[in-house]
Structure 1
């Protein structure tokens, strides 16, 4: 005699219904958030999990499912303490092309600006003495700035120039271009050499660049030469790895 499957079938149908309902709800939340993202700027804060739960009358599990989809495709960034933010789409630098930060951002249609951390004269570091061909007691003009694109922190830049370039301290180092100030006084960047490596952000960099702890950085050290072949600037720039990509091209010898 075959036993009835009625009760167990009802449980299965109920569970399937709840699953379909939860999926429909998280898709609804996902669509809502994508609409917000479309009209927002990178770095803008999105509603919290609690706000989304209240708005849609769902559990945190359903909300987190929607947020997980957006995080996987790079639309949002989530971190403890900062909440959910509209992600910054990484910008790609073309290999072999030398541009200042301001020139590069302007070509992308972005507004470059800086947050000045410090600017002044100090004794040169050993690496700067060697690269800039200075004496061991020489000083450098040091300018430390957070570089921004449309108001979003992209990099932390530490630039050192020989003391003869003290005049750049009178330039607009927040909204202006350091290289344009140099060009106005006859120094034109013609070539650059450098290295790139990756490391985790330090605590001071996390705060300045608005990053979660242990975020990755791309650190580029660059030595610039003027039109006469003389080195005039050594810069260490720490790029936020998920906001800036350096493309490379390889050819077979």
Structure 2
């Protein structure tokens, strides 16, 4: 049987320990892992650094290595709802509904959705939770034709599932991602430090006919999310 590289053996061991531990639990020290696997400290550090880069552990110099609070990954190359992304990552998605209303659309909103000036839109604002942890603030604006989604269970259900029930299938999207500092309301809702780094994603989602369906702004806690990007020449 072919043996695996030593740093990979250390990494597999640490992953197993992480899976059975809670955030903040201490892991073996570099010295203990060196003795356990009969490898150099450099090999141990190589394995640990890979896990640290993935946000699975954090290291405090002179103190030890600890299990990190898991960060949520979003794949920028795929159009998925928050609920779908959480399910793929083994997390339970839920929401706290902050706003669910009909109102007059702003000039930018009606232009993005290809509506007449002054049109009424459906507005949903939610605090998105992963395993009960606040991780994002989501603002969604939809055409009036989709207003029946306001009657759905938007705390535990998927907005995109509700849209599909109406025959409106979120099919493609374009958008932007920028970094900003948290405002006072962000700090309160996301329980982040003053002026903490946030990632703000704006998306325009089209339906199966290529018509604008949803304009969304989502403000993500910067230390909770990793955005995965795949590029090809």
Same fold? TM cut 0.5? yes
The residue that corresponds to 1:185 in the other structure is 166
Deviations 1:61-117, CA, capped at 9 Å, x for gaps: xxxxxxxxxxxx6758xxxxxxxxx85322222331110000110111111000111
The residue that corresponds to 1:171 in the other structure is 152
The residue that corresponds to 1:70 in the other structure is none
Larger Rg: 1
The residue that corresponds to 1:146 in the other structure is 127
How far off its partner does 1:130 sit? 1.3
2:205 matched to 1:245?
A: no
How far off its partner does 1:206 sit? 0.6
Deviations 1:2-39, CA, capped at 9 Å, x for gaps: xxxxxxxxxxxxxxxxxxxxxxxxxxxxxxxxx9xx65
Query: Could you tell me whether the CA contact under 8 Å between 2:183 and 2:195 is conserved in 1?
Result: yes
Query: Could you tell me whether the CA contact under 8 Å between 2:121 and 2:142 is conserved in 1?
Result: yes
SS at match of 1:246: strand
How many correspondences in the alignment? Answer: 182
The residue that corresponds to 2:73 in the other structure is 92
Structure 2: runs of 5 or more not aligned = 1-16, 25-51, 59-66
Structure 1: runs of 5 or more not aligned = 1-34, 43-72, 77-85
2:185 matched to 1:204?
A: yes
Task: State TM-score, norm by structure 2.
Answer: 0.71
Q: List, as ranges, runs of 4+ consecutive aligned residues in structure 1 with deviation greater than 3 Å.
A: 38-42, 73-76, 249-252
C-alpha RMSD over aligned residues:
2.6
The residue that corresponds to 1:56 in the other structure is none
2:137 matched to 1:156?
A: yes
Deviations 1:210-229, CA, capped at 9 Å, x for gaps: 11111111000001111111
Deviations 1:167-213, CA, capped at 9 Å, x for gaps: 00110010011111111121111101101101001001110111111
Query: Could you tell me whether the CA contact under 8 Å between 2:95 and 2:156 is conserved in 1?
Result: yes
SS at match of 2:180: strand
SS at match of 1:211: coil
